[in-house]
Amino acid sequence: MVEALGLNLTQFLFYLFNFLLLVLILGKFLFKPFLAMLDNRTQSIKDAFDSAEATNKKADEKLENYNRKIAKADAEGKEIIRESKAQADQQAKKIIDEANAKATQMMQSAERQIERDRSKALSEMKGEVTTLAMMAAEKIMEKDLEKTGEQEQIVDRIIEEAGAGAWQS
């Protein structure tokens, strides 16, 4: 039957033996090392992915840590600004209050000085008016008293008025 196909049985068996021998040799020297190399490569790729994943986790943790630190620093900065503003407002209020107190004190001092000057001016004016009135009265009295002789009555009336406090103001 093999010969009907145009094949020689010894040649066929020789080819089959060579093929099986080639498959065994290739399997032992080529296929197993190739599979081992593929397994090694698969394992190294898996290790690389695992390493990359671990590195990404570390990076994410560090990023989250940095973000927390930044948020904390931002909050601290806002707190410092708020405290500084409150302190500045307090100092401004203190300065304004001191300025207002000083202005009030200056106004009171000025009012007291004005009152003293007014009193002094009134006193001086009274003195001058009194002097002028006395001089005018003397002149009038000299003329009138010489005519009428009422000098004693006028002097008595002036003494009474001075005693009653009519001349004090």
> Any alpha helices (H) in the chain, and if so which ranges?
9-26, 32-148, 151-164
- Give the pLDDT of residue 107: 93
Largest CA distance in the chain: 198
- Give the pLDDT of residue 12: 83
- Give the pLDDT of residue 3: 66
- Give the pLDDT of residue 99: 92
- Regions of the chain where pLDDT drops below 50: 167, 169
- Give the pLDDT of residue 11: 85
d(CA 18, CA 148): 184
Report the Cα–Cα distance between both ends of the chain, in Å, rounded: 167
- Give the pLDDT of residue 126: 74
Q: Residues 6 or more apart from 144 whose CB is under 8 A from it?
A: 150
- Give the pLDDT of residue 114: 93
d(CA 112, CA 121): 14
- Give the pLDDT of residue 72: 93
Instruction: Show me where the domains of the chain are located.
Output: 10-143
Residues 134-168: tens digit of each pLDDT: 766 676 666 665 666 666 666 677 777 766 655 45
CB 114 within 8 A of CB 124: no
